[in-house]
Amino acid sequence: QVQLVESGGGLVQPGGSLRLSCAASRTIFGLAIMGWYRQAPGKQRELVAGITRGGSANYADSVEGRFTISRDNAKNTVYLQMNSLEPEDTAVYYCNLQYAGGDYWGQGTQVTVSS
């Protein structure tokens, strides 16, 4: 079993920044595909950004150029740097790990963008 613990969410004004972190409990982290998803009220969960074990990243069109995903395999941690935040970015953000057919989720962290 893999446990994922997210941190870094909160309330921020439009145009502000936040950095989310997700720590994994097992060393398979270095072999896994990692991702950040989000779910806003009344909407489906959507992929925000993903990163392969080699460090290749992909982003949703809505966050391209504003968000950056990165990983530190030595710390079993993936990050999501979010800049130029907009009210539309308000959602619960979830960390995801995929490895060997397994699909694991964190508990989620709330991000609220509001003045």
Residue 26 binned pLDDT confidence (cut-offs 50, 70, 90): confident
- Determine contact, residues 61/89, Cβ cutoff 8 Å: no
Region 85-105: what's the mean pLDDT?
95
At 69, the pLDDT band (50, 70, 90 cuts) reads very high
The structure tokens listed for 2 are 């893999």
pLDDT at residue 11, rounded to an integer: 98
Judged against a pLDDT cut of 80, whether residue 29 lies above it is answered with no
Rounded Cα distance between 80 and 108, Å, is 13
- pLDDT of res. 31: 81
- Once rounded to an integer, what is the mean pLDDT over residues 16-44? 92
Res. 87: pLDDT tops 80: yes
